[in-house]
A and B are shown apart, each in its own frame.
Chain A
């Protein structure tokens, strides 16, 4: 499925899933996913609940490692390197491939410290004040918080907290930002702000976003992957990739009937 949709333009795959299957304990959660995620593009993962899109996303920065019993088969690759190879330290993977979560999760420290922590642990050598300011500016949050950098990150509104989390992520300049439904806990205005922000960040970062919001996927993404789930005999749901391609094609001219049904709102 992947090969059909890859445009011949000389874009480089930043991330590649090769026959990736993920198990939680003995239960298969996602089976046999193959897809390439291209540099400086926004790729959206859409699909009904339980289709494994978040699970797959977490493979790409090894946050699945933190879930007891989770196991990844196949290859998740970053510029050709297997992220699950023996000599790869997951801490280093996460430093290069950042993540923004569904629920804003700022540290219970000051706004300033939220960003400074990320920089400090990764050995940042420059001017911390400057980095904090620049990160907040690039996350379109500076004007709102510049007078209260010493206040707790939790004193901000939900949308501001999420932008703080993004600021914190981009402060350490990862190459890829994985976003797991970053707007699902936010109101429409905050959502719009985050979407605009993502569009601005696209030129510097590769972004993968999991979203339940199809309008959001069609508005911001370059490529879209549609996942679906099927029930197994034991009652578990197993997710699989149905179709992957340019967002326009997925939404206007999908090859698969399931995709057509989903994007037109007939199920999901």
Chain B
């Protein structure tokens, strides 16, 4: 590089540096800059590589078993006749219920904590507790669900039922929804609330008309992320005793809520743990189905977010 010439003598002797030296030092700084960007790229490549290997492996194993029969058959001892219909329907049942439970409760709690509770020691304690709950291992929630929903609330849930499973998973993801809701509300500028209050609006009117609509995309993203976590959970459902072999579908009624169930992750777990390779292929097929559902959910989240942002 060519040094830019200059006649000015610096005021401070400390600035009396050869331009050539400056450029040499700059070369070194730019080198570090480049080095860091390569390192960052390496990190990206590594994580993507792992993911791609996993995906390719699963696709190679699983695609051959995917068929209409696979989606519509009950599990079986004979791999060629086995399917995932009960697990798929169970997953859909449970996820719909989890969404129904977590959205109103989680968002409501988030709004209350963020907008209505004055900053106090109790509020802070509640906040720390919720953050901690988000980090509690899921199996602990399983134990809680087993005791509370399966045993104590037996008359309502009828034990190891769809309802028990959904309630357990709802508990598991509630903290995530509450935290996402609060963060989303917090990102709405206070000046907007002031504007509403200054016109004689009540707190609820300000939230309902101005704050909540702006926070909704962020809240929805949080809810979908929470559901994505719930859909893959196996441990808490195994803990509450979800069955692995379900040769029937829950009824589409309130009684259906009380029927035993299984979900895709449990079915996958069950198949993977068998010695026969044919069942491993079935597991790979079920994983693909689970991933497609997950992708669909995330796509819905993005679609909703874009729609509401307009």
Chain A positions within 8 Å of B, measured between CB atoms, are 61, 63, 66, 68-69, 91-92, 94-96, 98-101, 103, 105-109, 117-118, 121-122, 165, 168-169, 172
Partner of B199, one of A103, A108, A121: A121
| Contact call B200/A91, Cβ cutoff below 8 A | yes
Q: Could you write out 27 A-B pairs with CB less than 8 Å apart?
A: A63-B194, A63-B198, A66-B193, A66-B194, A66-B197, A68-B118, A91-B202, A96-B200, A98-B199, A101-B191, A101-B198, A105-B192, A105-B194, A106-B195, A107-B195, A107-B209, A107-B210, A109-B210, A117-B201, A121-B201, A121-B202, A121-B209, A122-B199, A122-B200, A165-B195, A168-B195, A172-B199
**Docked complex Cα distance between A176 and B41 (Å):** 60
Task: Report the minimal beta-carbon distance from B182 to chain A, rounded to whole angstroms.
Answer: 16
| Chain B residue, CB-CB nearest to A92 | B200
**Docked complex Cα distance between A168 and B199 (Å):** 8
Task: Report the minimal beta-carbon distance from B212 to chain A, rounded to whole angstroms.
Answer: 12
| Contact call B201/A91, Cβ cutoff below 8 A | yes
**Docked complex Cα distance between A117 and B200 (Å):** 11
Given contacts A68-B119, A108-B210, A117-B209, contact A101 B194 (CB under 8 A): yes
| Chain A residue, CB-CB nearest to B192 | A105
| Contact call B192/A94, Cβ cutoff below 8 A | no
Task: Report the minimal beta-carbon distance from A223 to chain B, rounded to whole angstroms.
Answer: 23
| Contact call A94/B118, Cβ cutoff below 8 A | no
| Contact call B198/A99, Cβ cutoff below 8 A | yes
| Chain A residue, CB-CB nearest to B118 | A68
**Which chain B residues in 178-236 approach chain A with CB under 8 Å?**
189, 191-202, 205, 209-210, 213-214
Given contacts A107-B210, A108-B210, A121-B205, contact A95 B199 (CB under 8 A): yes
Chain A-chain B contacts (Cβ-Cβ < 8 Å), number: 68
Task: Report the minimal beta-carbon distance from A55 to chain B, rounded to whole angstroms.
Answer: 14
> Which of B189, B196, B200 gathers most chain A CB within 10 Å?
B200
| Contact call B199/A117, Cβ cutoff below 8 A | yes
| Contact call B195/A108, Cβ cutoff below 8 A | no
Query: Which residues of chain A are within 8 angstroms of B119 by Cβ–Cβ distance?
Result: 68-69
Task: Report the minimal beta-carbon distance from A239 to chain B, rounded to whole angstroms.
Answer: 21
| Contact call A98/B198, Cβ cutoff below 8 A | yes
**Docked complex Cα distance between A122 and B194 (Å):** 16
| Contact call B192/A108, Cβ cutoff below 8 A | yes
Query: Which residues of chain A are within 8 angstroms of B196 by Cβ–Cβ distance?
Result: 107
Task: Report the minimal beta-carbon distance from A182 to chain B, rounded to whole angstroms.
Answer: 12
**Docked complex Cα distance between A178 and B302 (Å):** 42
| Contact call A63/B197, Cβ cutoff below 8 A | yes
Query: Which residues of chain B are within 8 angstroms of A122 by Cβ–Cβ distance?
Result: 199-200
Partner of B191, one of A96, A105, A121: A105
| Chain A residue, CB-CB nearest to B190 | A66
> Which of A61, A63, A118 gathers most chain B CB within 10 Å?
A118
List the 4 closest A-B pairs by CB distance, nearest first.
A95-B200, A99-B198, A105-B191, A118-B199
**Docked complex Cα distance between A172 and B192 (Å):** 18
**Docked complex Cα distance between A217 and B175 (Å):** 52
Task: Report the minimal beta-carbon distance from A95 to chain B, rounded to whole angstroms.
Answer: 3
**Docked complex Cα distance between A91 and B209 (Å):** 16
Query: Which residues of chain B are within 8 angstroms of A91 by Cβ–Cβ distance?
Result: 197, 200-202
Task: Report the minimal beta-carbon distance from A219 to chain B, rounded to whole angstroms.
Answer: 25
| Contact call A94/B210, Cβ cutoff below 8 A | no
**Docked complex Cα distance between A106 and B191 (Å):** 9
Task: Report the minimal beta-carbon distance from B233 to chain A, rounded to whole angstroms.
Answer: 37
Query: Which residues of chain A are within 8 angstroms of B213 by Cβ–Cβ distance?
Result: 108
Given contacts A105-B191, A107-B210, contact A169 B199 (CB under 8 A): yes
Task: Report the minimal beta-carbon distance from A111 to chain B, rounded to whole angstroms.
Answer: 14
Query: Which residues of chain A are within 8 angstroms of B199 by Cβ–Cβ distance?
Result: 94-95, 98, 117-118, 121-122, 168-169, 172
| Contact call A101/B195, Cβ cutoff below 8 A | yes
Given contacts A68-B119, A105-B192, contact A94 B197 (CB under 8 A): yes
**Docked complex Cα distance between A91 and B213 (Å):** 22
| Chain B residue, CB-CB nearest to A123 | B200
| Contact call B209/A94, Cβ cutoff below 8 A | no
Query: Which residues of chain B are within 8 angstroms of A66 by Cβ–Cβ distance?
Result: 193-194, 197
Partner of A103, one of B191, B193, B201, B205: B191
| Contact call A61/B198, Cβ cutoff below 8 A | yes
Task: Report the minimal beta-carbon distance from B271 to chain A, rounded to whole angstroms.
Answer: 50
Task: Report the minimal beta-carbon distance from B114 to chain A, rounded to whole angstroms.
Answer: 13
Query: Which residues of chain B are within 8 angstroms of A100 by Cβ–Cβ distance?
Result: 198
Task: Report the minimal beta-carbon distance from B21 to chain A, rounded to whole angstroms.
Answer: 45
Query: Which residues of chain A are within 8 angstroms of B191 by Cβ–Cβ distance?
Result: 101, 103, 105
Task: Report the minimal beta-carbon distance from A98 to chain B, rounded to whole angstroms.
Answer: 6
Query: Which residues of chain B are within 8 angstroms of A69 by Cβ–Cβ distance?
Result: 119
Query: Which residues of chain A are within 8 angstroms of B200 by Cβ–Cβ distance?
Result: 91-92, 94-96, 118, 121-122, 172
**Docked complex Cα distance between A63 and B210 (Å):** 18
**Docked complex Cα distance between A34 and B195 (Å):** 28
Task: Report the minimal beta-carbon distance from A234 to chain B, rounded to whole angstroms.
Answer: 22
Query: Which residues of chain B are within 8 angstroms of A165 by Cβ–Cβ distance?
Result: 195
Task: Report the minimal beta-carbon distance from B195 to chain A, rounded to whole angstroms.
Answer: 4
| Contact call B214/A105, Cβ cutoff below 8 A | no
Query: Which residues of chain B are within 8 angstroms of A168 by Cβ–Cβ distance?
Result: 195, 199
